[in-house]
Amino acid sequence: MFEPPVTPPHLVRTVLRPGEVVRKVSRDIATGVTCMEVFNDEGASQIDENGIVTEDRKSLSFRIADDDPVSVRAEANVKLTNGNAEGWNSRVETHSTVSCTATDFFIEADLHAFEGKR
């Protein structure tokens, strides 16, 4: 028998910029392509205990053509930013895509990490 899980205390945060979520579905009636786009901005908040400010933004898109399951494509762009008043700043940006053929899946991903103003 395992011990019960341990949960860390909840981080108290101050909201600096509220987030928002935008969802959009479009359909091109000429090509039969349907697209769904999601923009998820988690806003910006500061962890009260240590003063670290965090931001998290995601852009997701999914597309597929009628009667063509291998036309499917998914993309994700994510940007995570952390920093504090002492001048420490870091940012991670990722871009990922998933697509396929009748026999194979293709996954492409890029990750870029930045520190300071770079």
Span 68-72, average pLDDT: 95
pTM score of the predicted model: 0.83
First to last CA, the chain: 49
Written in H, E and C, the secondary structure of 72-99 is: EEEEEEEEEEEECCCCCEEEEEEEEEEE
* Structural domain spans, the chain: 13-115
pLDDT attached to residue 117: 72
User: pLDDT at residue 7 above 70?
Assistant: yes
pLDDT attached to residue 37: 98
Q: Are 38 and 22 in contact (CB under 8 A)?
A: yes
pLDDT attached to residue 118: 64
User: pLDDT at residue 80 above 80?
Assistant: yes
pLDDT tens, residue by residue, 9-68: 889 999 999 999 999 999 999 999 999 999 999 999 999 999 999 999 999 999 999 999
